[in-house]
Amino acid sequence: MVDDLLQDRTLYSTRVARAMRGVPRHLFASGVPLEEAYSDITLVTDRDEDGHALHVLSAPGVQATMLQQADVRPGQRVLEIGSGGYNAALIADLTGPDGEVTTVDTCPEQAARTRRDLDTAGYPHVQAVHAKVEQGVPDNSPFDLILVTVESSGLPPAWAAQLETGGRLVAPLAMRGLTRSIVFTRESSHWVGRDPQLCGYVRPHGDEVEWEQTVALQGKHVSLRLESDAPEIDVDGLSSALSTTPVEYWSRVNLSWDQSIAPLDLWLATCIDQFAILTGSTEAVARDVVARVSRTGAPTMVRGDNFGYRIARPIRDDLSLWEVGVRAHGPQATPLAHDFIKYVREWAVHHRGWPGPRILVHPSKTSLARYSQGRVVNNRHARILISWFAP
């Protein structure tokens, strides 16, 4: 598992690699075959009677990415928000005998299982706490580092209160249908984020607050995922557009197999006013109703009864190089596609290869009028400002 992560460059830290070689992942995945336990996939090993995940073990590649962002150091006091056990054990290895690790989960069954698994794997010194994740663990604070391993739409005030001055927080933040693991530091009354990395985490157990909505265009086969407060869209018009012959345009912007498309997708989410994520079923792809897109969906521009979404095609037989394009539907598909391609080329010229945007997270009622540019995302607990600056 570790060799594979090193080979595909997901894992590059020797300290994290050493920890991942040492912690027995299968002990945190009871009943799962070894081949699955050590594959780069997310494992759901237990569900409640309603089908909601009770025990989730995130993909090791995602965990490696966040641990490398966090840069966990020996002797640190670390809080993990969202328990799975395995990640807490990795953190404990990285903090060493002089460090302190606390992991907290809202679900009592999950917290109890985490405790059992940590004891079995030889980590009785890691504290597993049952509490609301939004409240953190004030009795064990302050922390040098907080790692959030459940998807969040904002950064609750309690987390800031429990972080040591100069400490860091790494969290997977949901923004306009995309989730990115971001390194945050505290500045005055807000958070400053950097280094957004593609990731995927489940939401906290029992969190019934929805910050997204899903709109079906053709029954269960094609859908658009939007922010919960997004302007109403023309569902009938978009469904009709989907039945028409699409147009495709190509950008002449190429990505090699080892280059992530995630920075471009975040840029598109910042630029496009009516932004959505399109997903299509296997049947819809087979019938060419929509093009094949990633499992998590494709960034989409919606404009009235027209829409277009990001696609890609191989331009080398060995699939080592891909060109970014757009497939658009509707009576005004062509001008929409041209605007979409303009955004792709703008990213390639001005932002490709650079660190990415500055992400500011303010309390939910903060006025952001003093900022002259950027996309504002209104999420639970927060107003998020995503700003890109030309180098």
Which residues are the active-site residues?
58
| Secondary structure (3-state) at 354 | coil
Q: How many C-beta atoms surround the C-beta of residue 321 within 10 A?
A: 14
On whether the CB atoms of residues 357 and 387 are closer than 8 A, the answer is: yes
**Cα(275)–Cα(307) distance, rounded to whole angstroms?**
10
Chain position carrying tokens 């997270």: 361
**Cα(290)–Cα(216) distance, rounded to whole angstroms?**
13
Residue among 253, 289, 288 nearest 268 (CA): 253
**Cα(90)–Cα(208) distance, rounded to whole angstroms?**
30
On whether the CB atoms of residues 104 and 131 are closer than 8 A, the answer is: yes
DSSP string, 328-349: EESTTHHHHHHHHHHHHHHHHH
Handedness of CA 90, 93, 99, 102 (dihedral sign): positive
Task: State both tokens at 4.
Answer: 């594979």
**Cα(270)–Cα(266) distance, rounded to whole angstroms?**
6
Q: In degrees rounded to 5, what are phi and psi of residue 12?
A: -135, -10
